[in-house]
Amino acid sequence: MQDSISTSAFKQVDVFTSVPLMGNALAVVLDAEDLDSATMQRIAAWTNLSETAFVLPVTQAQADYRVRIFTPRSELGFAGHPSVGTAHALLEAGRIPGKDRLVQECAAGLLPMRVFGEGAAREIFVQAPPASLRACDTETTRSVASALGASPSASSAPALVHLGINWLICALDGEALVRALTPDMDAIAALCAHLGAVGLSVFARAQNPEYAIVVRAFCPGDGVPEDPVTGSANAAIGSYLHASGALDSVGAQYRASQGRELGRDGYVTVRVDRVTGSVEIGGQSVTCIDGVLTLPQC
């Protein structure tokens, strides 16, 4: 006998781009109130995107919406491109008020959002959770270098950055080195599992008028060998630059390029408060699929 089914409004959104097929794709299930955690995880594995977002009724009065975020293998407390993309999907669908300040409820807490412009020109920013950093010891730094097949920058050691999730962040010397990397994914997965990190993100200063840094993010342990354009990793890099005293090299507001190695061309705008160290990340989004998803009932 066929299982009973339900349906949900569904969008697939390209985030950190205004051009379809060029950003980081996000699946958004807009009517997820009847889904349990196991079903959400099953759907996220089925979409096989780096993240799938599930919109739920709020539990805190201050919030405009609530979201749970899943990779193909696990739930995340916070992620940048699902935060930006979900807000885009909800605004486009008329599910939340069209205003310039929003509050997102997620596992990491209540996160302020800012909205600039309308329609195709709209840019959405999310304030990342407060970050804490721990510099890597010599042995971990050697493991990072071995996994990447490249030496970390001598000016600053790799660090584990916690902001709702843990990212291992490593600075390299030069855009060409970042773009040419062919890392050992098994070694990255083992290292991140040992450290409790979702992935390893690398960056370098770029000499380009369109962007200040170039970024790549590797999450093989979560079923995403390389993420096309990563909001949380870019937020972690902003915190890393602030904590290491390197923010002046790029400025308190800068643009990051990510995804070209995967045939994408995403751009993340990063804003860092020089005094508090708080980080906002944001950019544009574009809807590529708008329809109805058929779901199993729990």
pLDDT band for position 2 (cuts 50, 70, 90) = very low
Phi-psi region of 251 (alpha: psi -120 to 50; beta: other; left: phi over 0): left
- Known catalytic residue: 51? yes
Shared-domain flag, residues 185 and 60: no
User: What are the pLDDT digits (tens) for 32-44?
Assistant: 999 999 999 999 9
Domain total of the chain: 2
Q: Looking at residue 120, what is its pLDDT?
A: 85
Q: Is the pLDDT of residue 270 over 90?
A: yes
Signed CA dihedral, 108, 112, 116, 118: sign only: positive
Shared-domain flag, residues 139 and 122: no
Shared-domain flag, residues 119 and 182: no
State the CATH number of the domain containing residue 73: 3.10.310.10
Shared-domain flag, residues 234 and 249: yes
Of the CA atoms within 13 Å of residue 65, those in its CB half-sphere come to 30
Q: Is the pLDDT of residue 251 over 50?
A: yes
Shared-domain flag, residues 97 and 208: no
User: What are the pLDDT digits (tens) for 69-122?
Assistant: 999 999 999 999 999 999 999 999 999 999 999 999 999 999 999 999 998 899
Shared-domain flag, residues 156 and 258: yes
pLDDT band for position 4 (cuts 50, 70, 90) = low
Shared-domain flag, residues 36 and 136: no
Q: Is the pLDDT of residue 1 over 60?
A: no
Phi first, then psi, for residue 19 (nearest 5°) are -115, 120
The residue range of the domain holding 213 is 132-277
Average pLDDT, the chain: 96
Shared-domain flag, residues 177 and 157: yes
Q: For the chain, what percent of residues have pLDDT higher than 70? A: 98
Choose, from 51, 105, 175, 226, the residue flagged as catalytic: 51
Shared-domain flag, residues 138 and 272: yes
Instruction: State the burial class of residue 3 (Cβ atoms within 10 Å of its Cβ: 0-12, 13-18, 19+).
Output: exposed
Q: Is the pLDDT of residue 169 over 50?
A: yes
Shared-domain flag, residues 69 and 202: no
Shared-domain flag, residues 193 and 100: no
Shared-domain flag, residues 253 and 177: yes
Q: Looking at residue 3, what is its pLDDT?
A: 55
Which residue bears the tokens 């643009």?
255
